Amino acid sequence: MSDFRQRALDYHAKPTPGKISVELSTPADSVDDLALAYSPGVAEPVREIAEDPDNAYKYTAKGNLVAVISNGTAILGLGNLGPLASKPVMEGKALLFKRFAGIDAIDIEVKHRTTEEFINTVANIADTFGGINLEDIKAPECFEIEQELIKRCKIPVFHDDQHGTAIVTAAGMLNALEIQGKNIENAKIVCLGAGAAAVACMELLIKCGAQRERIYMLDRKGVIHTRREDLTEHKSLFANNTDKRTLEDVMDGADIFVGVSGPDLLPPETLALMADNPIVFACSNPDPEIRPDLAHAVRDDLIMATGRSDYPNQVNNVLCFPFIFRGALNVRASAINDEMKVAAVEALRAITKEEVPAEVLAASNSKSLSFSKDYIIPKPMDPRLCERIASAVSKAAIDSGVAGI
């Protein structure tokens, strides 16, 4: 067994199995404490909440509690390995919520037969939480699940793999384009993958100025084009009227490659086909579509990002979900809307261009970091992220009329 694999297993097994636990926030030592915490004292907030459900925010953990919910159908890039196998990732998301944004999060892995059964399960428990972060649910079911839950729940419901990924991708991409001296309106974009992350990333890039007809999206069958008759509703939105059919066909002259598909799917030699000063986001986890060392060996003019912590430019939704929820929960937003997403993109972009605090340099073993090809997006441990993104998101929620307080 490799040293890293053993360390990763040990990290999860010790000192106690898993990565999260529940801690008490009030005293529970004396008879008097118990009389307040449980019977008879607990009856008082029960009555208050029965009278007005909003009192749950005052007397329970609801307002700072997010459910991280998965069915394990698209666990990172590992595929459909079932709900229980997704638990380490969901506990990991809970860890990140707490570590970076002080949000209490609990993982819930749901076994279900039909999409409707999954939706009903989540809708039926939603009132317990201040927000719901859907995670690693595969396309196309994820689109219906999120839309239906947004309709049925009074709290923010956010499919992280769609919108968290899209927000970070858009921020990193706009910064990378600026460094490469290109603009998004003219960019030829190749997107390998046509699932949850791909569709949301491309839709947000279009909102940022990308031209739909200059996007070439591919699934396992190749380029998504107008003559295909097997396309789902969301893939059809990206059907390109083109005679190009393969990855090699569309990589010719491309300015941007976004990989949200699976490991090692981008042959190094296809990079040679791209335009000058290209941008390659190989975001599949844990193994990217192409390893940075292979990519850099083919081209020295590219900007390269992955979803991982151990290379420069980590384009990963960890840079978004803790902070966008912090901003939403702080103003008790009923939804996470486009205005809040755009505010998160802009905050992320702006932070990248500012001086990096010494503690971030130390945590990332760097002597210096400044806006450049190897620093297009902030590091996740940057303490400015929470304050800056959350306040921008809260403001956008207030301005767009979805804030509850």
Ligand X SMILES: NC(=O)C1=CN([C@@H]2O[C@H](COP(=O)(O)OP(=O)(O)OC[C@H]3O[C@@H](n4cnc5c(N)ncnc54)[C@H](OP(=O)(O)O)[C@@H]3O)[C@@H](O)[C@H]2O)C=CC1
Task: Note if 93 is an active site residue.
Answer: yes
315 binds, among ligand CC(=O)C(=O)O, Mg ion, ligand X, none (CB under 5 to 8 A by kind): ligand X
Write down the least CB distance from residue 55 to ligand CC(=O)C(=O)O, Å.
34
Using CA atoms, how far residue 257 sits from 12, 131, 186, 301, 395, in Å, is: 34, 33, 14, 14, 33
The one segment of 126-134, 257-265, 296-304, 352-360 that binds ligand X by CB under 6 A: 257-265
Q: Considering 62, 93, 182, 379, which one is annotated as catalytic?
A: 93
The smaller minimum CB distance to ligand CC(=O)C(=O)O, of residues 161 and 289, is found at 161
Write down the least CB distance from residue 317 to ligand X, Å.
4
- Residues 358 and 149: their CA atoms lie apart, in Å, by 42
- Residues 195 and 232: their CA atoms lie apart, in Å, by 10
The smaller minimum CB distance to ligand CC(=O)C(=O)O, of residues 161 and 382, is found at 161
- Taking a C-beta distance cutoff of 8 angstroms, is the pair 207, 181 a contact? no
Confirm or deny that 285 is annotated as ligand binding.
yes
Write down the least CB distance from residue 153 to ligand CC(=O)C(=O)O, Å.
21
Q: Under the rule (CB under 6 A), what is the footprint of ligand CC(=O)C(=O)O?
A: 76, 136, 160-161, 285, 307, 316-317
Choose, by CB under 6 A, the member of 284, 313, 330, 352 that binds ligand X. Answer: 284
Residue positions counted in the chain: 405
| Interface mask toward ligand X for 175-214; x: CB under 6 A | -----------------xxxxxxx----------------
H-helix or E-strand spanning residue 284: none
- Taking a C-beta distance cutoff of 8 angstroms, is the pair 354, 339 a contact? no
- Taking a C-beta distance cutoff of 8 angstroms, is the pair 272, 250 a contact? no
Confirm or deny that 241 is annotated as ligand binding.
no
Alpha helix segments (H runs only) across 3-134: 3-13, 31-37, 43-51, 55-59, 87-101, 115-125
146 binds Mg ion (CB under 5 A): no
Structure tokens at 49: 């909440």
List 106's β-bridge partners, or say none. 67
Write down the least CB distance from residue 36 to ligand CC(=O)C(=O)O, Å.
40
Choose, by CB under 6 A, the member of 218, 251, 377, 403 that binds ligand X. Answer: 218
Structure tokens at 8: 């990763």
Residue 182 CB: number of other CB atoms within 10 A?
18
Confirm or deny that 120 is annotated as ligand binding.
no
- Residues 396 and 405: their CA atoms lie apart, in Å, by 13
Q: Which residue has the tokens 């084009």?
A: 225
Closest CA to 376 of 144, 174, 103: 174
- Residues 104 and 86: their CA atoms lie apart, in Å, by 19
Structure tokens at 35: 């009389």
Task: Note if 38 is an active site residue.
Answer: yes
- Taking a C-beta distance cutoff of 8 angstroms, is the pair 201, 215 a contact? no
285 binds ligand X (CB under 6 A): yes
Confirm or deny that 316 is annotated as ligand binding.
yes
The one segment of 126-134, 143-151, 178-186, 260-268 that binds ligand X by CB under 6 A: 260-268
201 binds, among ligand X, ligand CC(=O)C(=O)O, Mg ion, none (CB under 5 to 8 A by kind): none
Confirm or deny that 219 is annotated as ligand binding.
no
70 binds ligand X (CB under 6 A): no
The one segment of 87-95, 255-263, 343-351, 377-385 that binds ligand X by CB under 6 A: 255-263
Strand pairing report for 222-223 and 215-219: antiparallel
- Residues contacting 234, CB < 8 A, separation 6+: 139, 140, 143, 194, 199
- Residue numbers at the binding site for ligand X (CB under 6 A): 74, 76-77, 138-139, 161, 165, 192-198, 218-220, 260-262, 265, 283-285, 307, 315-317
- Which are the catalytic amino acids? 38, 93
Q: Which residues carry a binding-site annotation for a divalent metal cation? A: 135-136, 161
Q: Which residues carry a binding-site annotation? A: 135-136, 161, 285, 316
- Residue numbers at the binding site for Mg ion (CB under 5 A): 136, 161
